[in-house]
Amino acid sequence: MAKLSRRQYLGGGAALGAGLLAAACDALSSRGEGGTGTEAEPTAPADPRLRIPPVRKQPNGRSQAIEPVTLRVLFTPGGAFTDFKAKGSQHHVAELFTAAHPHFTITWQPWEFLGAQTWEQVLNLIAETAAAGQFYDVLQLWDSVPADSGTYGALLGLNRFIRRDRFDLADFWPGCVPGGTWEHDLYSLFTEVETNLLFYNRELFLSAGAPEPTETWAWDDLLLQARALTQGEGAGASYGFTPIQFKDGSNWAALPWIWGNGGDMFNEDQTRSVVDQPAAVEALQWLPALRHTHHVWPTAEQLRQATATEQENLFTLGKLAMLYSYRGSLGTEVTAAAYGQPKHSVAVPPQGPVRRANILFPWPAFYLGGATGVPDEAWSFLRWWTGEEAQLAWHHGRAIKGRNLTVPQTHPPARRSLALELVDWFGETDVAALEHAEMRRPQAKGNRLAEAFNKGLAPVWQGEQSVEAATARVAQEQNAILAG
């Protein structure tokens, strides 16, 4: 089995507006956070470039339990989660929670200690322990759970709590809700999100006399400048543009281009593949043409000649003008582009012929265990942990400081209001791009459908098969999976 990936099942669906958010959870209404609270001093050192708001103390999500209660939290190690005993951000936020809820005791268990080493093993373990009546009250996983894992039966839907407490979902980025919904019930809340951006090398634009990307750019503008910025041959060549392809072989990066042309992978009720329909086919023809017709996207051989093992390396070497990627794929010095560094900068991806579209990466995902004996207390923890006080404290503790560089190490908050408050950290470009970011909701047989898409499109990028032949085969395989 493949090792656990933080980007396992990412895809797209239409972004839901406030009306759809309300319908998904039966006409939710006013925000259930309660009170404005008082302000405390910021935990991060003052920096005139940041203007970060102080941590707010709010009584949101407090349990009404009187007796002491112990919550078992299963979490995925990674980053600040790796060593919980260290006084890092997670430890600090947990201390804030127990200080506000003194009758709670939180026990933290990394899933790796349970014997699971792969994503599939994690999902099987969740289902097995729930069937045995032994489960965790709260689960934190790096990815949303695919519907075909059978895991949703071991989780507790959140709609009952959302209706009861009139918990407002409108502050979460629109793409977060469909990404955590299964059979009309919301199962997960996210704390951080990320999306693809258009990173570009300002020095290459300046030397070529090309105008820098703007928010009004369309596909044709990108192609025009990418051709002007592609120069030279062999080891001395520089290239105009590359769309990121995930290191695990996934082709989900193609989805926003399909959406931008008015297409999708499946029809509205997800019963039939439409990847072979004109809107999707046209978008998928446009992408490989960048490589095989216009030669602005380097081939594997050209990457080797440029001594770059991956497309991200080509960008950091100064041999690629534009990279369509996510911040986490690049080093800190490059992602500091959003904060005024001179060599690199960042823009929103270009608008498609039909609309602007982007892909949403939400993580981590928090769930409630279906077999929890303290559901109200587990919900109280989940609600608080994904709320304003906890997330401000989290980002305060995760800033990278030193070398005249103060930038966030984490992704933008899943709450739009907090992302706007911390806009000096993440940049207006990130916020603007997130407004159009989408994620496909969990789908039955989703892993098999994704595999058919990924394998079926692989020959297209290498110029080994036509888009028409590849998409026809993908649609045939996906429809067979859906009908099976």
Domains of the chain by residue range: 18-194+361-438, 197-359+441-483
- Do 28 and 167 form a contact (C-beta atoms < 8 A)? yes
- Do 222 and 350 form a contact (C-beta atoms < 8 A)? yes
What is the pLDDT, as a whole number, of residue 225?
97
Work out the burial of residue 278: count CB atoms within 10 Å of its CB; fewer than 13 is exposed, 13-18 middle, 19 or more buried.
Answer: exposed
**β-bridge mates for residue 196, sequence order:** 326
- CA proximity to 277, closest of 481, 11, 480, 467: 467
The radius of gyration of the chain from alpha carbons, rounded to an integer in Å, stands at 23
What is the pLDDT, as a whole number, of residue 121?
74
Dump pLDDT digits (tens) for 158-197. 999 999 999 999 999 988 888 888 888 899 999 888 889 9
Give me the long-range contacts of 454-462 (CB less than 8 A, separation at least 24).
454/249, 454/250, 454/251, 454/252, 457/251, 457/254, 457/284, 458/249, 458/251, 460/284, 460/288, 461/245, 461/251, 461/288, 461/291, 462/300
Residue 394's H or E segment, with its range, is helix 388-397
* CA–CA distance, 42 with 111 (Å, rounded to integer): 33
What is the pLDDT, as a whole number, of residue 181?
85
Cis status, amide bond into 288, omega within 30 of 0:
no
Structural domain 18-194+361-438, CATH architecture: 3-Layer(aba) Sandwich (3.40)
* CA–CA distance, 257 with 290 (Å, rounded to integer): 13
Report the predicted TM-score, pTM, of the whole model to 2 decimal places. Answer: 0.79
Q: In which residue ranges of the chain is pLDDT below 70?
A: 1-66, 76-89, 111-120, 133-134, 142-152, 245-250, 307-310, 331-342, 397-410, 441
Name the token pair of 300.
């594997």
* CA–CA distance, 256 with 356 (Å, rounded to integer): 8
Domain 197-359+441-483: top CATH class: alpha beta
129, 259, 413, 437 from 173: Cα distances, Å = 32, 18, 9, 8
Dump pLDDT digits (tens) for 120-135. 677 777 777 777 766 7
What is the pLDDT, as a whole number, of residue 276?
97
* CA–CA distance, 311 with 306 (Å, rounded to integer): 10
Domains 18-194+361-438 and 197-359+441-483 share a fold: yes
